[in-house]
Each structure stands twice: as C-alpha cells, then as structure tokens.
Amino acid sequence: EVEVEVEVEVEVEVEVEVEVCNIKYKKNICLDIQSISDSLIYIMTFARKLKNIKSTEGVDALIKKTYPGITGKTEGSRFHNAVMHFFKTMDNDSDAVHSLTIFYNHYVKYFPNQNTLVKRLSQVRKVLHANPDIDDKIYRLSMNDDIFNIPVADIKKRKDDYAKSVKKSNRKMIQVNTNDIKEKLHAFVNSVDAYQQILAVLLMTGSRPIEIFKSNFKACNKKKGDTDKASYICISNIAKKKDKAEVVKRPILSMGTGTTSRKIIKMITSIRANFPNAIVADEQLSPAITRALTRTMSNEFPWVSQYPNKASMMRKIYVDLAHTEFAPKVNKNTFIQETLGHTNISTSFSYSYVNGN
C-alpha cells in the first residue's frame, strides 16, 4: 500500500443569487453580491500575478490580458486596489523596492492629478508601514522620490505644475459669508443631530472628520504670545502626521457661541458614543458616516457641492476665519502651517484660497 498526496486545482462555477440590503436610510440600498465578488476575485488574482512581474512593460501586458475591455478610471481604481492587496501580503523586502519602482509609472498614468497621485501613493505607503513582514526602512524609502527612479527634471516639472495649479486656484478665491457661517455654527452647537455636531467641531477646531473619532483632544493653557481673544485646544494623534505624539495647539473658533475646549471635548465624547463603529478596516472612517456627513454638509452649505473634497472645506473655512479673528497681521500661509500643523508650507498654499467676508 502506498499513500500518495495529490494537490488538484479545480475551477467550480457557482450560481449565487443574493442581495445585501441596508435599510438604515429612507431608501433601501441593495448591492449585488456578484459584482462585489467579481471585484474581490479580480483584486486577489491580479495581486497574485503581480508577484511574477519584473518590469513596467510586464505590468502593462498583465493589465491588458486580464481585463482588455477596462480602461480609464475603472482600470486605475482596480490596479490601485490590487497593488494595495499585493503589498499587504508581501514578505520580501527586495521585491517591495523593485515593485515600487515599476508601479510608479502606472500611478502617474492613472492619476494625473497631483493631489490624487499623492493620496494614492500615501495609501500604498500606509500599507507598507503596517505590513509586519516588510522592514520599516522600505516605508522610509518609499517617501523618497529617488526610490521610483524618477528623473530630476520630471520631479521638478511635477512640482512646478502643482505650484501653478495652486496659484490658479488662489486666483479664484472662494468667498464665504461669515455671518452665514456664524449663524449655522450657533445652530450646530445646540443641535441634537450628531452630524450637525460633527460639523460644529470641524468648524471650531479645523479637524478632519476622522480625527473626531481617532485624535486626542485636551484643554491646554495659554502661553506667552497666544492671543487673549481665543481659548485653545491641544490635539495629538493627528491624521497624516508621522509623529502621532506631536501636539498641535489651535485657537477655538467659537464665533460668539462661548464654546470652550471642555465643551468641545464633551461634544466629541457624545459623538463617539453615537457612532461606536465609526472606524472600519485599515483605520478608515466608515463610508456610511462619510456619505451622511457629506449630505448634511451639502444641505447646510449648498455651495460646497461644487468642490470635490467637501470635508476639507470646513477646515479651510476654519483656518481663514481664525486667521482673520486671531492673527490678521501674521502671514496667512505661515498661520495656516502653524495652526494646522503642516510639515511643509507648500501644503498650506492649497488652504489659502478661501476668503471670509
């Protein structure tokens, strides 16, 4: 008698007819589970095949062979999701470095907008940072343009193009009605609606939505040089900050509501209690909360709807009005950098095109 162990790969076709419905809102939101499984299969299969690719041309060929009919944004989105899964499951440092290099050109092609490109690459770096099988030096290398073998001229052109786009935006200043903001803020502070309370905290502290659920807020004392007009709140574990222990001190934009740091902390505690599962996979804010908050924001400030990143608009309004209220003689970009905690002042330029009147 001989025992033989045989591994056989079998392809099985299964017909599934299921609908997943969420009836928390007025309208039923139903998702076809087949479309979800197709996307997941694509991502995992594509990510597995990427491991054998050694060149940019090889990635091109794999994309065309796997899904020849898909182009544009859909192709870019699926490629990005596959790359994320690829790095989550990778366990070889040298392969990680090589892959970063050959993937970069595809990111530039799929995401020509500078802000989107930076956001997507940041997501890849976050996955690298979280993977326990990849040395942390790979994460640090990924933050250096040289790792992607980009010619110096291309780096300069990319930065120049971005600077031009920011200047163009700044010439089209967004005029904000300060009295309207003040009236809305008074209503939000006293509202029992959780989403309006979130908007209140965003407007008074310049925080990002996810920071309301993840960052640490505490009262902080005034020091020499602080304005007498404001109360301050200290925030740490800030999104996009490398040093999570770093504390950023911000003046509270109360606009006559009399809101103190303790009142804000109490509001945040209440908001978190209302949304115990706000943080989902990969430490992201729940898409359901993001959508509902965007709807509330668009209802309260209809003009916000024309801008792609609606949540950041509250942050831009905060820093513009705080600059006018507390430090009008200070250079606006310098104030934005110091108040929001930007590492580079160039980041602050994109926040300077909102103007309250």
Which tens digit of pLDDT belongs to each residue from 260-274?
Answer: 999 999 999 999 999
Of the chain, the percentage scoring pLDDT greater than 90 comes to 25
DSSP 292: H
CA–CA distance, 355 with 357 (Å, rounded to integer): 7
**Residue 271 identity (one-letter amino acid):** I
Query: Is pLDDT at 223 greater than 60 in this prediction?
Result: yes
| C-alpha 228 chain-centroid distance | 34
Across the strands, what pairs with 29?
Answer: 22
The helix (H) or strand (E) run that includes residue 263 is helix 261-274
Q: What is the mean pLDDT of residues 326-353?
A: 81
The more confidently predicted of residues 133 and 48 is 133
Higher pLDDT, 167 or 267: 267
Crossing angle of helices 152-171/114-130, nearest 10°?
Answer: 120
Whole-number pLDDT of residue 167: 64
Kindly tell me if the per-residue pLDDT of 21 is higher than 60.
Answer: no
Q: Which residue has the higher pLDDT, 174 or 6?
A: 174
